[in-house]
Amino acid sequence: MSNVIVGLLGFVIVLFSSVPTAFAEAPSTDVIRVMSFNIRYGTANDGANSWKNRRDLVVEKIREFEPDLLGTQEVLDFQRDYLLQNCANYLSWGVGRDDGKNSGEMTAIFYRRDRFEQLEGGHFWLSLTPEMVGSKSWDSSLPRICSWVRLRDKLHPNNPTILFLNTHFDHRGSDARRESASLIRKFVEKNRKESQVVITGDFNCGDSSEPYRQFFPEESENSLLIDTFRSFNPTEKNGYTFNGFRNSVNSGERIDWIGCSSDWEVRLAHIDRTQTRGRFASDHFPVTAVLRPKIPSSEQTIRILCYNIHHAEGVDGKVDLYRIARIIRNADPDYVMLQEVDHRTRRTNGIDQTSEIARLSGYHGRFASAMEFQGGQYGQAILSRQPIETGRVLKLPSPEKQEPRIAFIIPVRVGNVDMELISTHFTHNDSQIRTEQAKKLNEYLRDSSRIQILAGDFNATVGSDPIRELQKIWTLGHPSVGKNQIDFVWFRPSDRLQVKSAQQLPEPIASDHLPVLCELRLLPSMSK
């Protein structure tokens, strides 16, 4: 296929918005957040679900996930313009399938202008004559199109470029879907070069279909493409992505996919089936994936984020769960230990903060109550990229008539290694009690056969009695710490884990504590 289509048919559109959005900052890591979203064509006679009645819901879904790369389907030119006007900081690449300009549905690509530079791009029609505008073949009921761009990551210019494709297969023609899959796969094989590949789309067929097998024949380390959802959720059976604007739909085919080349690590992959104010944004659910360039290495690492969130109230007085979730997402941890978490209290409007932070960040969460408070509960939470068990609570020595203190313990399995995660929060106003709490923790946990990671707000600095007590059996996950630091990550035994990196994240507004990120290297067992 000739790239002459780039100059003749492709054009980039950018609009700047005065509407405040959450896109002001670029991500701090080299993860790529990807969304595929069939937003339903804007002239459909959908009554209460017509475009003007749900367009703000679509914008909210996009803003909430904050994709770096967004592939949309069934987009008309005025819908594209609306998204650009209300989701600031994006460039768009797409043409109408009918005339190669603005007529007909687009498979419009959006990418963050602060992060990516477009090196080239184009469009081809899913037909026997892919360079012929508006062409269709086989048993296709309508012209179908694939748009693509090659991008350079401006934040990580030494990373490989990204070949990003977005498409929409025919809803009637099974032969057309099969041939379209073959056409796109051949395009990727020919044009990939040294790029990493991401492909999004509404494929109008499920994961047992022939087009699916053409894209993802036998997933392995050397596969051309892998299915991000199946890679991250290998046992998930019910992956339906179409709702038809009906609450009653709870099963069906997974017809919306995100694929990627095997040189990506799939950090998260989900189908967002949540409603906004009791309504669906589209008749399809958005599907999402978080990808990170795969680093050739045999070592296994565990990223731990420890964060006292102060019930999500920042030093500016605002309670903002999205702000907390965004910090978690940008840190890209495997596990998160949170302290000072509210659960349906009056002061935070009855919200289950654990569930909401987990939803906004794409994680699974468990909450442990330390005390009843304002009509709800107050305690700690642990989040994980994978589903986690309920866990158990250890009550720590606490002064009478003061806030009870606990340790929240959850078993996890990392690869084939059994581990325990422990989140805790020591008392703030009595050093002797803190020392007793440290002793209780050591006594309770020291005989475990599992690898253990302990994180929390210890209300004590290095050199104090509580910290010295913990150091009797724990290794501190911070080679160097600030003199006023009281939030720490610990681990044991020291012959199974090793610190790869550790830092306090420079986030001074979202809470009265700074988050601590620690990456640990899992060492092989020396036992026979």
Considering only residues 179 and 13, tell me which one the structure prediction assigns the higher pLDDT: 179
CA distance 340 to 346: 15
Half-sphere exposure of 443 (CA within 13 A, CB side): 10
Tell which residue, 234, 233, 216, has the closest CA to residue 225: 216
Q: What angle do the packed helices 353-361 and 321-331 form, to 10 degrees?
A: 50
Question: Looking at residue 400, what is its pLDDT?
Answer: 85
CA distance 485 to 502: 13
- Per the prediction, the chain carries an average pLDDT of 92
When mean pLDDT is compared across 14-23, 413-422, 464-473, the lowest value belongs to 14-23
SS3 160: coil
CA distance 395 to 380: 13
CA distance 512 to 509: 7
105 pLDDT exceeds 60? Answer: yes
Question: Looking at residue 118, what is its pLDDT?
Answer: 98
Tell which residue, 192, 184, 215, 196, has the closest CA to residue 32: 196
User: Both ends of the chain: CA-CA distance in Å?
Assistant: 57
10 Å CB burial of residue 401 (0-12, 13-18, 19+) is: exposed
pTM of the model: 0.88
Tens digit of each residue's pLDDT (9 = 90 or more) over 124-137: 999 999 999 999 99
Q: How confident is the model at residue 296 (pLDDT cuts 50, 70, 90)?
A: confident
Question: Looking at residue 454, what is its pLDDT?
Answer: 98
Superfamily of segment(s) 300-522: Endonuclease/exonuclease/phosphatase (3.60.10.10)
| Tokens coding 242 | 């179409």
Q: Are 444 and 474 in contact (CB under 8 A)?
A: no
Q: Are 15 and 9 in contact (CB under 8 A)?
A: no
Where does the chain hold its CATH 3.60.10.10 domain(s)? 4-20+31-293, 300-522
Question: Looking at residue 235, what is its pLDDT?
Answer: 87
Beta strands in 203-334 (DSSP E): 226-227, 256-260, 264-271, 287-293, 300-308
22 pLDDT exceeds 60? Answer: no
CA distance 231 to 220: 10
SS3 489: strand
10 Å CB burial of residue 24 (0-12, 13-18, 19+) is: exposed
Q: How confident is the model at residue 155 (pLDDT cuts 50, 70, 90)?
A: very high
Question: Looking at residue 479, what is its pLDDT?
Answer: 61
Tens digit of each residue's pLDDT (9 = 90 or more) over 60-101: 999 999 999 999 999 999 999 999 999 989 999 999 999 999
CA distance 488 to 306: 7
| 4-20+31-293: in CATH 3.30.450.20 | no
Tens digit of each residue's pLDDT (9 = 90 or more) over 238-295: 899 999 999 999 899 999 999 999 999 999 999 999 998 999 999 999 999 999 999 8
Q: Are 15 and 84 in contact (CB under 8 A)?
A: yes
Average confidence (pLDDT) over 485-489: 95
Tens digit of each residue's pLDDT (9 = 90 or more) over 183-235: 999 999 999 999 999 999 999 999 999 999 999 987 655 678 999 999 999 98
How far is residue 239 from each of residues 37, 206, 272, 287, measured CA to CA in Å? 15, 9, 11, 10
Tens digit of each residue's pLDDT (9 = 90 or more) over 107-129: 999 999 999 999 999 999 999 99
Question: Looking at residue 222, what is its pLDDT?
Answer: 62
Question: Looking at residue 10, what is its pLDDT?
Answer: 42
Q: Are 90 and 84 in contact (CB under 8 A)?
A: yes
Tens digit of each residue's pLDDT (9 = 90 or more) over 361-416: 999 999 999 999 999 999 999 999 999 988 999 999 998 889 999 999 999 999 89
CA distance 165 to 259: 10
Dihedral sign computed on CA atoms, order 224, 229, 235, 238: negative
Q: Are 290 and 267 in contact (CB under 8 A)?
A: yes
CA distance 51 to 29: 35
14 pLDDT exceeds 70? Answer: no
